[in-house]
Amino acid sequence: MKTDGIQNSSSEQVAVLKRYRQYLLLEKSLSLNTAEAYMDDVSKLISYFNECGIELSDITLDDLHGFAAAMGDLGIAPRSQSRIISGVRSFFRFLNIDGYRQDDPGELLESPKIGRHLPDVLSVQEIDAILQAIDRTLPEGQRNRAMIETMYSCGLRVSELCSLKMADLYPEEGFVRVTGKGSKQRLVPISGRALHEIELYLSQRCHIEIKPGSEPFLFLSFRRGKPISRVMVFDMVKDLTAKAGIRKNVSPHTFRHSFATHLLEGGANLRAIQAMLGHEKISTTEIYTHIDRSRLREEIIMHHPRNISVEK
């Protein structure tokens, strides 16, 4: 199965794909990166059926099963298959809405079963150890403390952290405005500790030679004077985790997962966590906010009446 796109597509297919891209960006309000990912999935589909000599209007559910089987034969991982099939289903829903097809063969196309992988969670002590590993004598030291506290305090995605602007801070109200997936905005409470670290950082930020156009962004590179990148945050977290002697697989997303897990363990309402994380579906929040099994067992042993020793 080729993955080189739609270079051999007919003019009719190209027109349909252009309308689909507009649908993703304008009607579904997806980000450019997400829309391009969907287009890449459809590109694989088009290439496959062009080779098979099957037109878009003639594709059946059995044909789609053949496409899914071909992905497996090529050794594409189940998780990647699931993502591609999700894009294919979206495309056929559009073809039906657009009037190109009267049916939707993708509606009954199932994704491969994927075992849930629960990422590592940092304890509060481990987060403190990472913060202690920051060298405050370095120009970026205070900025890094502020970034980690903000990620953990607000449960931010790394992209959300990098895109934060000065105007997104509401320190008196104790909130930060976050722009998430699909450019959707939400207000998230921010801790007093994170606000304190940001305030200390802002006293140093004024000494950065900021490049034109970068002034609105909160977290900047001291060397380049531009907004920090996701790669910079990833490298910073990996370096600090190693210095703190933590052997878990830690990434910026680990702080988001730890945020949600700690809230749930502390008794926070799942719907409130869902709103703070910016999840559309509660099922997504449930995956992120699992309760540590060993802690759950300890709680049961300690509090369940059948486990309490009986005085004789």
Single out the catalytic residue among 44, 256, 257, 262: 256
Which of the residues 65, 181, 196, 290 is marked catalytic? 181
Question: What is the SS3 string spanning 101-140?
Answer: CCCCHHHHCCCCCCCCCCCCCCCHHHHHHHHHCCCCCCCC
CATH of 124-297, one of 1.10.150.20, 1.10.443.10, 3.30.930.10, 3.30.360.10: 1.10.443.10
CB atoms within 10 A of CB 296: 12
Radius of gyration of the chain (CA): 24
122/144 Cα distance (integer angstroms):
18
Does the active-site annotation cover 288? yes
Closest listed residue to residue 256, CA positions, set 175, 143, 165, 180: 180
Q: Where in the chain is the domain with CATH 1.10.443.10?
A: 124-297
Separation CA 48–CA 43 (nearest Å): 9
Q: How does pLDDT run along the chain (312 residues), one tens digit per residue? A: 333 444 445 788 889 999 999 999 998 888 889 899 899 989 889 988 888 889 888 999 888 988 888 887 777 778 788 888 989 999 999 999 999 999 999 888 887 766 555 668 899 999 999 999 999 899 899 999 999 999 999 999 999 999 999 999 999 999 999 998 878 899 999 999 999 999 999 999 999 999 999 999 999 999 999 999 988 999 999 999 999 999 988 989 899 989 988 888 787 777 888 888 888 777 667 665 454 444 555 555 665 565 555 443
Residues of the chain with CATH 1.10.150.130: 11-108
pLDDT score at 299: 55
Give CA–CA dist 196/204, Å, rounded. Answer: 13
157 noted as active-site residue: yes
143 is catalytic: no
Q: Which of 19, 21, 253, 290 is catalytic?
A: 253
279 is catalytic: yes
- In one-letter notation, the amino acid at residue 2 is K
**Which of 23, 38, 48, 288 is flagged as catalytic?**
288
Annotation says 271 is catalytic: no
- What token pair was written down for 186? 């939400």
Active site residue 253: yes
What homologous superfamily is domain 11-108 in, according to CATH? Answer: Tyrosine recombinase, N-terminal domain (1.10.150.130)
User: 185: alpha, beta or left, given left = phi > 0 and alpha = psi -120 to 50?
Assistant: beta
